[in-house]
Structure formats: structure tokens, C-alpha cells
């Protein structure tokens, strides 16, 4: 009897021990499942915060407005559209003009083989001027456009065109008369009125003066100097104004090349055959090793 009770007690103990272990395993399994569920919920919640559901109010602080507010920013100085021609002007002269109107380097670090390009008796026609400037731009060249006042009065917009496209305007007197034959009062008006009309159209006065026919005495030079103008004639004539060169672009090119020398101050005009000759002329000059001096790099006095 005692043995039977002992066996029953042992059996009961074994059953109770098994039940206890199952309870622990169940609790551990439940805890693991709860932890996984919570982690899943946190991940889902985090994902919802970074990507709002459809219908979320877009005016909340965490979202950008539908239209970005306009902000004024300074213009990029590298943008060609906002550059002014005056802002691009060289800061220091690299050349000067001698007494025979040639362009001379200020020191040995500056190229000697350069030419100065000039065009007289404009402004006449927008088409011709635009074609000339297109060619100059192609060769990265600057030129002086010596204008007459009476033509500028008829077409002040052409003055602005020349200036806005980065070329340089020079003073060629008002009426294209022989100033050497005129009195001082007339000379003052012929030069001063051109200074004024160019300033009204472009905001700045010319810095270079060429007398019509290259004719100017002491009075003309004195008046030009009073306006801080560099007086010049030329040292290389294209002869594009002569009848034998009319409608002959090749003659214009030939005439310039025959007189070519370092520092050539080349006289040309706003004429159809000169416009046609220009690209060929500049190409040939480059092939001979010549560059094109920027007029703004020339000192405002002869020496």
C-alpha cells in the first residue's frame, strides 16, 4: 500500500513539473510575439511619418507649400545677359599710340604684332553694322566705330547697338567737314555735339577722335584734348573709299595686307564691300600671326 502511494506521488510530481515548464515556454513565446508586434508597429509608424498618406493637409510644418516663395538673388556676373560693355573694359593700358599713329606695346610682355581696326562715317544701316560686329565677334576682335553726328541723330538706336554689343564708338565730327579750315567755335561744336549725342544714347562719351579726311591742326587737337579724346588719323588705309575698290572686297583685303606692319592703325568704312571683305581680312591677318588690340587698352595720349 505504501509502495502504491509512493508511485502515485512520484507520478503527480512529474505531471506538475511538465505543466510548469509548458507555462514558462508559453510565456516566453508570448513575450517574443509581443516584442515583434511592437517593433512592427514602430516601423510602420516611422514610415507613415516620412511619407504622409493621401489627403494629409499640405499646409503642415513638415511639408513644403505647393508654390515656393520667390527669393531675390543677385545676378550672376558670369551671365552674358547682365554684363555691361563698360564693365568688361580692361583696367590698365597695355599699348600707346606714337606720333605717326601706330600702336606700340608699353613693354616687352605685350605682343607687338597687333592691328587696330577702325570704321569711319557711320552709323548707316543696322544690317551692315550687325554683320560687321558678327564678324568681329567671330574673331574675338574689338574695333572703333567713328561716327558722324548727323548720322547718329538720324539713327541713335545704332549707337546703342554698337555699344551694347561691346564695340567702341569714336567721334568723327558732326558734319564730316574739313575742321582744319574752321574757326575754334565751329570746331568746338562739331566735336562737342557728337560727344553729347553719344552720351545720351549710350551713357558714356567717346574716348577717341578722328578728324574727317585726317585733316586737323593745332586748334582741332586742342579741342579734342579738352574732351579727353585721343586724336588720331591712321597708318594703314584700306582705300575702300576709292572708286577702284568699289564692290571689290578682294581689293580691300589686298590694300590692307600690302601696307601691313606691327601696330597698323587700319582705316576702313561702313561700306557693303568692306563688310564682305572683313572675315577674309581678319582670317588672313590671324594667319600672319597678328592679333587685334582692344582700343580700351590704349593710353589716352600720344607718346
Task: Report the catalytic residues.
Answer: 120, 269
| Full 3-state SS string of the chain | CHHHHHHHHHHHHHHHHHHHHHHHHHHHHHHHHHHHHHHHHHHHHHHHHHCCCCCCCCCCCCCCCCCCCCCCCCCCCCCHHHCCHHHHCCCCCCEEECCCCCEEECCCCCCCCEEEEEEEEECCCHHHHHHHHHHHHHCCCCEEEEECHHHHHHCHHHHHHHHHCCCEEEECCCCCCCHHHCCHHHHHHHHHHHHHHHHHHHCCCCCEECCHHHCCCHHHHHHHHHCCCEECCCCEECCCCCHHHCCCHHHHHHHHHHCCCCCEEEEEECCHHHHHHHHHHHHHHHHCCCEECCHHHEEEEEC
Amino acid at each position: 500500500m505504501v509502495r502504491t502511494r509512493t508511485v502515485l506521488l512520484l507520478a503527480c510530481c512529474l505531471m506538475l513539473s511538465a505543466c510548469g515548464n509548458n507555462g514558462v515556454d508559453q510565456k516566453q513565446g508570448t513575450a517574443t510575439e509581443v516584442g515583434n508586434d511592437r517593433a512592427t508597429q514602430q516601423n510602420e509608424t516611422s514610415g507613415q511619418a516620412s511619407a504622409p498618406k493621401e489627403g494629409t493637409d499640405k499646409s503642415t510644418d513638415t511639408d513644403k507649400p505647393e508654390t515656393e516663395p520667390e527669393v531675390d538673388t543677385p545676378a550672376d556676373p558670369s551671365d552674358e545677359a547682365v554684363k555691361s560693355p563698360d564693365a568688361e573694359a580692361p583696367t590698365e593700358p597695355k599699348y600707346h599710340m606714337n606720333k605717326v599713329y601706330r600702336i606700340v606695346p608699353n613693354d616687352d610682355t605685350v605682343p607687338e604684332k597687333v592691328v587696330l581696326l577702325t570704321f569711319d562715317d557711320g552709323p548707316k544701316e543696322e544690317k551692315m553694322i550687325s554683320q560687321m560686329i558678327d564678324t568681329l565677334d567671330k574673331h574675338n576682335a574689338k574695333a572703333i566705330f567713328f561716327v558722324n553726328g548727323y548720322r547718329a541723330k538720324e539713327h541713335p538706336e545704332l549707337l546703342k547697338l554698337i555699344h551694347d554689343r561691346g564695340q567702341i564708338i569714336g567721334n568723327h565730327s558732326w558734319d564730316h567737314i574739313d575742321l582744319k579750315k574752321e574757326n575754334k567755335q565751329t570746331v568746338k561744336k562739331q566735336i562737342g555735339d557728337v560727344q553729347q549725342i553719344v552720351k545720351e544714347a549710350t551713357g558714356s562719351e567717346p574716348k577717341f577722335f578722328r578728324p574727317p579726311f585726317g585733316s586737323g591742326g593745332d586748334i582741332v587737337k586742342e579741342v579734342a584734348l579738352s574732351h579727353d579724346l585721343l586724336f588720331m588719323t591712321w597708318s594703314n588705309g584700306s582705300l575702300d573709299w576709292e572708286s577702284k575698290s568699289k564692290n571689290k572686297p578682294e581689293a580691300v583685303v589686298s590694300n590692307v595686307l600690302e601696307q601691313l606692319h606691327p601696330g597698323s592703325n587700319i582705316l576702313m568704312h561702313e561700306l557693303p564691300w568692306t563688310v564682305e571683305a572683313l572675315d577674309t581680312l581678319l582670317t588672313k591677318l590671324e594667319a600672319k600671326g597678328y592679333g587685334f588690340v582692344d582700343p580700351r587698352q590704349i593710353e589716352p595720349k600720344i607718346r
